[in-house]
Amino acid sequence: MVRGGYRTAEAVRMTPPLRGRAVARRRRWDVPGLVAALFLGPALVILAAVVAYPIVATVWYSFFNADGTRFVGLDNYVEMFTGPATRRAILNNVIWVVVAPTAVTALGLLFAVLSERIRLAAAFKTVLFMPMAISFLAAGVTFTLVYEADKDRGALNAAIASVHDLFKPPSKYYGTSPREEAGLATVDGAVQTAAPAATSTPVLLPMVGLPPDRIPAGAAAAAPGVAGTGLRGVVWLDFSPGGGGRPGAVDAGEHGLPGMVVDAVRDGKVLATTRTDPAGRFDFPQLTGGGYTIRLAASNFTPPFNGVTWLGGSVVTPAIIAAYIWIWAGFAMVLISAGLAAIPRDALEAARVDGATEWQVFRRVTVPLVRPVLVVVLVTLVINVLKIFDLVYVLAPDPVTQDRANVVALQMYQTAFARQDGGLGSALAVLLFVLVLPAMLYNVRRLRGDRDR
Amino acid sequence: MSFMSTVRVPTLEPAGTAVTGPPRRSLLTRFVTRVGGGLLYAIVVIVALIWLLPTIGLLVASLRPASASAATGWWHVFTKPGELTLANYARILDNGDMIDGLWNSVLITVPSTVLVVAIAAPAAYALAWLDFRGRDPLFAVVVALIVVPIQMAIIPDAKLFGALGIFGSLTGVVVFHVAFGLPFAVFLLRNFFIGIPRDLLEAARMDGGTEYMIFTRVVLPIGWPAIASLTIFQFMFVWNDLLVAKVFAGASSKPITYVLQEQMGTFSSNVDVIAPGAFLSMLLPLIVFFAFQRYFVQGVLAGSVK
């Protein structure tokens, strides 16, 4: 049994039993053509009718209009590269091909190296490989729960919210705003007086928009402000429960907003800072004269993290690619693990004896030795990613998001079946086909080399 | 896929045979290894959690009542474990569409898998061991067909199946899956069969065995590991398919993936229906995965290039 539990070697090349003896002098024998035909017949008939003929037919259809009645030359191909929807799909496919295979291979390599150094490697590999058993559809359902935009329901947003609020806790007055007629302005999240404040009377800073359940427990009834000669005023919730209050005036039953950070600013410089008392009052006795701006600092209004709309807007493609990485990383890891296991231990030990650090060993010995495997993983994933369909279809179901996240394979399906345009749909299929042609030729060439061994 | 044969890693020595005794390490190295070991395990645990939690979340969500799922995420179950219920699953059993979908998935997957193996195995044997003109070019064509995108065939095949009267039926879905499963299946089995020792086959011929007998009595028994991997790969591929079903299945032949996709489209946040449905659709693949892990991994790795 190989390390990590999987006999992956066989997966890479299904090594038949007793291979060695057979290789050198194998020769096949002549049989009547009829026998060969009987063995091959069913497979060839089905392949010819359901796979080979349609390839030719699809190329043919791609030169015709939507319902196949009129020859249009290259019009479908021109439209494919100029139409906004198809161009978006092609560009997204480029993003997919550049990002996804590289990320999956890099993570696969990292996890393979990690799993070489731990006990329970088999369990680790099982956990990472498990998503390969799940359909793109089920994975899509799984990730709609992860990506839910509401932070109370989406796991990812909830996780980000808890970290975010740990480092940047929301302030108790988030969501409040100045009463509109009060001559206050909101600048960069801070609330300030629009006109210079005078010291003759207390400055009134009426606020609205704080739900009753968020009024601080220590808040007292709002008071019109301390007596004195300095710069002073009151910040309060200008809302009388039960009604009857005058807008912009301190009324009975209205609450002061304690603990509000208040800056006194003149000529762009903060001259003093204080906090409001339980009745919402603040006082700068040392500041007299005029020309001050009273500013309630932005830190009073820091909102909590509200959740990212992952499956919409500009992050939708990266989000879907992340789900793809989750599905395929285990695949890359298992293949690369097989490659790592085949590296001669002496090569690594020799490098270590020569004083190489672990990073140098990894960079200079391990990676070059597993490079052939990395190439295979990468090429395999590129082919797979070119054909990506289900995951985008499921994670971006509504038309607007789907247009934004579109890829060629999905656009082909929508064009040919939802919009019944067989011509353009065929052209998109031909584009996919042309893109996998290099892989096809590579496969056939490899086969030549392997023949009759 | 023939990428398999490019990877020259497979003949694995049992781990550690090349090293005799642990290498000598300085005290500093050992210290770094010790501290690094803690970090290593921390990373491994975090990675494993990231890979496990989405699926666990789906399972938990499938066991929460609709009202709970509409208000809060699945992790709130830790504060209210009492709310877990099997009611969603009970309702799924009454949901005709879901049950039909699961049953249709079986009716599509089983014949598609059996037929692919039954049709590919003799063809692979012929391509491996029978001598006839054009054999090697024919095999090259089969290999070439492995990576053909499904999109390249669905429009003409939809018309063809329509003419044959099997468009929108289980038969149509099965025929398409068989056709697109064949190239890889033939390739995989041919490459395995070709490694069978010639002596074995010749001995059978000397005893007067026909090609049919050699195939059934010698080749198939020896080839069963490859057949097992192929079976599992094809089974999973068909069970998890959505695209072929969307194109070729009709109102009464939708597999579970199709049904779930439609239900996702019609109601935006019906977690209490979608989550248990998705989990039921994953159940069979997961059982296969855990029960036949080795063949599963081999099959999936070998067939990944499709």
Express each pLDDT in A333-352 by its tens digit: 988 988 888 888 888 888 88
Confidence of residue A114 (pLDDT cuts 50, 70, 90): confident
Sign of CA dihedral B37, B38, B39, B42: positive
Res. B27: pLDDT tops 90: no
| Nearest-Cα residue of chain B relative to residue A372 | B7
- Residue B114's domain comprises 95-303
Q: Look at residue B8 and tell me if it is in a domain.
A: no
Same domain, B81 and B119: no
What is the tens place of the pLDDT at every residue in B125-139? 998 888 888 888 899
Same domain, B49 and B163: no
Question: Hey, is the C-beta of B47 within 8 angstroms of any chain A C-beta?
Answer: yes
B131 interaction partners in chain A (CB closer than 8 Å): 28-31
Q: How many angstroms separate the CA of residue B93 from the nearest CA in chain A?
A: 19
Domain count, chain B: 2
What is the tens place of the pLDDT at every residue in A44-83? 999 999 999 999 999 999 999 888 788 888 888 998 898 8
Chain A 145-174, residues with CB within 8 Å of chain B CB atoms: 145-146, 148, 152-155, 158
Question: Hey, is the C-beta of B51 within 8 angstroms of any chain A C-beta?
Answer: yes
A189 touches A300 (CB < 8 A): no
Least confident of A194-198, A443-447, B74-78: A443-447
φ, ψ dihedrals at A292, nearest 5°: -90, 150
Same domain, B37 and B146: no
Same domain, B267 and B171: yes
> To the nearest 10°, the Cα dihedral for A143, A146, A147, A148?
120
Give residue B269's pLDDT.
66
Q: Look at residue B214 and tell me if it is in a domain.
A: yes
Q: Look at residue B4 and tell me if it is in a domain.
A: no
Q: Which positions ≥6 away from A416 have C-beta within 8 Å?
A: A422, A424, A425, A426, A428, A429, B154, B155
Same domain, B273 and B253: yes
| Nearest-Cα residue of chain A relative to residue B265 | A397
Same domain, B53 and B190: no
What is the tens place of the pLDDT at every residue in B137-168? 899 899 889 889 999 999 999 999 999 989 98
What is the tens place of the pLDDT at every residue in A152-166? 778 887 888 778 777
Q: How many angstroms separate the CA of residue A259 from the nearest CA in chain B?
A: 32
Domain boundary residue among B49, B67, B85? Answer: B85
**How much is the ipTM here?**
0.83
A22 interaction partners in chain B (CB closer than 8 Å): 195-199
Q: How many angstroms separate the CA of residue B42 from the nearest CA in chain A?
A: 11
Same domain, B33 and B79: yes
Res. A315: pLDDT tops 60: yes
Question: Hey, is the C-beta of B78 within 8 angstroms of any chain A C-beta?
Answer: no
Highest mean pLDDT among A239-243, A247-251, A308-312: A247-251
Domain boundary residue among B35, B61, B85? Answer: B85
Q: Mean of the per-residue pLDDT values for chain A?
A: 82
Same domain, B124 and B37: no
Domain boundary residue among B41, B60, B85? Answer: B85
Average pLDDT over residues A205-215: 83
Q: How far apart are CA B234 and CA B237, in angstroms?
A: 5
Higher per-residue pLDDT: B29 or A194: A194
User: In CATH terms, is domain A8-14+32-147+311-450 a member of 1.10.3720.10?
Assistant: yes
Q: Look at residue B118 and tell me if it is in a domain.
A: yes
Instruction: Delimit the domains of chain A by residue range.
Output: 8-14+32-147+311-450, 177-301
Q: Look at residue B16 and tell me if it is in a domain.
A: no
* A-B contacts (CB, under 8 Å): 411
Cross-chain residue pair B9–A339, CB shorter than 8 Å = yes
Which own/partner pairs from A272-277 qualify as long-range (CB within 8 Å, at least 24 positions apart)?
A273/A297, A276/A234, A276/A235
What is the tens place of the pLDDT at every residue in A115-136? 888 888 888 888 998 898 888 8
Q: Look at residue B33 and tell me if it is in a domain.
A: yes
A117 touches A271 (CB < 8 A): no
B215 interaction partners in chain A (CB closer than 8 Å): 39
Same domain, B192 and B68: no
Confidence of residue A328 (pLDDT cuts 50, 70, 90): very high
Cross-chain residue pair A35–B257, CB shorter than 8 Å = no
Res. A292: pLDDT tops 90: no
Q: Look at residue B186 and tell me if it is in a domain.
A: yes
Question: Hey, is the C-beta of A8 within 8 angstroms of any chain B C-beta?
Answer: yes
Least confident of A196-200, A271-275, A436-440, B111-115: A196-200
Residue among B15, B48, B236 whose CB faces A3 most closely: B15
Same domain, B183 and B236: yes
Indicate yes or no: pTM above 0.90. Answer: no
What is the tens place of the pLDDT at every residue in B160-207? 999 998 998 999 999 999 999 999 999 989 988 888 888 888 888 888
Q: Look at residue B161 and tell me if it is in a domain.
A: yes
Same domain, B288 and B178: yes
Highest mean pLDDT among A189-193, A222-226, A426-430, B60-64: A426-430
Q: How many angstroms separate the CA of residue B95 from the nearest CA in chain A?
A: 18
Residue among A11, A35, A142 whose CB faces B301 most closely: A11
Q: How many angstroms separate the CA of residue B198 from the nearest CA in chain A?
A: 6
Q: Which residues pair with A64 in a beta bridge?
A: A71
